Amino acid sequence: MTERPWDHEAAKRIVASMTTSEKISLVDGRAGFPVGTDGELVTEPPGGLDRASYPAPGAVGCDGYTPAVDRLGIPALHLCGAGVGLTDMYTQRRDLAESTVFPSAMAQTASWDPSITYAFGAALAREARAVGVNVLLAGACNLAVEPWCGRLFEYHGEDPLLSGIMVAGEINGSQDEGVLASIKHYAANFQETGRFFIDTVVSERNLRQGELRVFETALEHCDPAAVMAAYNRINGTYACENGYLIGTVLKGEWGYPGWVMSDWGATHSTVASALAGLDQEFPMGHFFSQQLADAIQAGQVPESRLDDMCARILAPALTLPPAELVPLDVERSLAAAEQIAERSIVLLSNDGVLPLDPSTPGTVLLVGGNADRAVLSGAGSAAVQPRGGDPINGERTDYNAFNRVTWVPSSPLAALRAVMPAWEVEHLPTDDIDAVLNRARDVDLVVVVATQHTSEGSDLPDLSLPDEQDALIEAIADATDDVIVVLQTGGPVHTPWARRVRAVLEAWYPGHRGAQALASILIGAVNPSGRLPVTFPASSDQLVRPGPVPIPIRPGSERPEKVPPHGNFDWVDQPFEVRYDEPVGYQRYDQDGLVPAFCFGHGLSYSQFSSGEVTLTPESDAVVVEAELTNTGDVAGIEVVQVYVALPPEAGEPPLRLAGWSIEPLEAGASTRVTVRVPRHRLATWDVEAQRWQLQGGTYTFRVGASSRDLPRSATIDLPESQLPTLAERRRST
Ligand code: BGC
């Protein structure tokens, strides 16, 4: 982690010179695109505004904006969604609207390598600086509790440690390139259905050890300028006015020094939010505008709170480089996108058909997924207007990609042809299934690209591939034995045909150079090293909730005709609580003895690795795990050595928890000594009574291997009971 040179004292001195209206302009964040007089989002220029002056003067045309205060050297803030690239800007200038699409966050997390998310964050920041964006609304890291959640592609998997470390890589990458970053959505935004009012009910211990541990881990490894508070309620209170989450935990126990902004339209009050610790509202000025000034005037919110809000924003904002556009090296961005994609693709199964030999002539038929032209991406506020245009839907005709299915110009057909010149690579559309099946019988190999589109704002009904793609794969598998399936999905899907095909690859949403990365992996120019950051269930029966919990609406009550995109959801007049009592992901599968289709941490390589005896060495605040690792295969490869720990039974925890890992590139036949340092707090449980992390005294079993279900080596160590320091205390001592 690079320590940020935030000067809170300098920020406070500036705040002391600000007028109340200047202070309010900083905390009353507005849309970077125009809103109508009723506060509704405007997607067409309102009357009287010509297109040339749209968006509003001052804003570069993105999600959020606060004006500069030139006399005090306070920069304008331009905040832009950036889950997988810079989201499409609200501008007529095509060169500013289009951005590079990077592999999704879920894809990046499959690399298990924070230098990969760092590379993404840095590339993203360079894209931002080219168009005048200086705050990235990236860093989405809600725990992947529900595999059908529409935003899984933006999140970093089902394990808190993995998720926190991976998102921190991204934030460090962005901030090191001079662009501020936020982490979001604090906290427990687990399902999209009803997200504006759902009440996530979760026990303190589960919350601390699950979702909050993601944020705590991230804040241990990075200093995001901002934390975005979520839409939903947590244990009865909206995230933006949740004093426990923001005041007690984030700013108190964790000592978080930056600012807390609302998600877009997630603020529900002035006084309660201000007192709970919210520092900035977006984007409509409903609560932190004149209302906040009035509340201060009336003595309901102390002026010192407003000063604190401003100082928290200014301290990081003062580190921003001068507001000038820095030309983008597009090729560099695309190269980063390709490198990230190469590391994120997961080889789920392979009977030896892969890698393909590019020099042996043969015929391959590519089917499905618009594979002649594009790869898929996810939708919502993370949707990017792809550089070079969407080859399937053509040029955009409006300003809003939020609800669209966007395809990215990266052609698997062209990429395969380029790397396999001795092969004939054909493509057939799936609308004539007979033609596909006839041709499938004659070629040497069929590669089926199967896709699943997902989006913010909605969830999947279930995990089956849509549009009868399962039936298509089965029909092709009936016609020929030589089938490879390439998945492009937001998260896990059902793979009922997996045993009938020769290989399955998970490519996620692979971005602008996804096709090239895929081709490199298919021919073995790149040895796959991705590992699953989420469990693939064998069937819906294995899920706690097989699909999204529906919004309860009292009979007779009606959804109004015009529902604002964000904001007032008073028409939902029923409590909407969802309880999350179970362990998440692999921990629940392990606890309940369920056998998934593909387990957490799984991923094959074209090499084989074997590890030797495990040794454990206690240190004052850690356990050092060591083992010999050998690449016993014929080719160089990268192994992700995974360390899991079983806590003493008295801790009452699920059988295993991820404790650390190491990325090990190894030449064929080479060996290395792998060292994974496991700080003690990774072994801790949350003591509700003492309100602290505690280490249970007893025997800890460390298990080492290639996935959560392939852990051939283990060793034990006895550790004494102890109470552990808080994050703020840990940070003060380093
Ligand atoms: C999303 C946030 C996003 C914001 C602004 C909201 O709909 O939940 O993640 O940053 O829009 O784009």
Residue 564 pLDDT exceeds 50: no
pLDDT in tens, 241-266: 999 999 999 999 999 999 999 999 89
Q: What are phi and psi of 565, to 5 degrees?
A: -60, -35
Residue among 156, 264, 281, 284 whose CB has most ligand 1 atoms within 8 A, to mutate: 264
Q: Which residues of 312-331 are buried (b: 16+ CB within 10 A; e: fewer)?
A: bbbbbbbbbeeeeebebebe
Percent of the chain with pLDDT over 70: 91
Residue 669 CA to residue 247 CA, distance in Å, equals 53
pLDDT in tens, 654-679: 999 999 999 999 999 999 999 999 99
Q: Give me the pLDDT at residue 7, please.
A: 95
Residue 175 CA to residue 638 CA, distance in Å, equals 28
Report how far ligand 1's centroid is from the alpha carbon of 657 (Å): 31
Nearest CA among 603, 458, 583 for reference residue 109? 603
Nearest CA among 659, 356, 674, 383 for reference residue 511? 383
Neighbours of 13 (CB within 10 A): 13
Q: Which residue has the tokens 């020929």?
A: 480
Residues near 397 by Cβ (< 8 Å), separated by ≥ 6?
none
Cβ 476 under 6 angstroms from ligand 1:
no
Q: Give me the pLDDT at residue 731, please.
A: 83
Start-end of H helices in 17-62: 20-27
Q: Which residue has the tokens 């790149």?
A: 526
**418-to-28, 66, 165, 334 alpha-carbon distances in Å:** 52, 47, 36, 17
* Atom 6, ligand 1: residue with shortest CA distance: 264
Cβ 264 under 6 angstroms from ligand 1:
yes
* Atom 2, ligand 1: residue with shortest CA distance: 263
Residue among 182, 191, 263 whose CB has most ligand 1 atoms within 8 A, to mutate: 263
Percent of the chain with pLDDT over 90: 84
Nearest CA among 316, 313, 324, 401 for reference residue 29? 313
Q: Return the higher-pLDDT residue of 508 and 46.
A: 508
Cβ 88 under 6 angstroms from ligand 1:
no
pLDDT band (50, 70, 90) for residue 178 = very high
pLDDT in tens, 125-157: 999 999 899 999 999 999 999 999 999 999 999
Report how far ligand 1's centroid is from the alpha carbon of 563 (Å): 17
Report how far ligand 1's centroid is from the alpha carbon of 63 (Å): 8
Cβ 263 under 6 angstroms from ligand 1:
yes
Neighbours of 579 (CB within 10 A): 13
Q: Return the higher-pLDDT residue of 132 and 109.
A: 109
Residue 4 CA to residue 547 CA, distance in Å, equals 42
Residue among 35, 63, 183 whose CB has most ligand 1 atoms within 8 A, to mutate: 63
Residue among 35, 141, 403, 456 whose CB has most ligand 1 atoms within 8 A, to mutate: 456
Q: Which residues of 530-552 are buried (b: 16+ CB within 10 A; e: fewer)?
A: bbbbbbbbbeeebbebbbbbeee
pLDDT band (50, 70, 90) for residue 89 = low
Q: What are phi and psi of 104, to 5 degrees?
A: -60, 165
Residue 728 pLDDT exceeds 80: yes
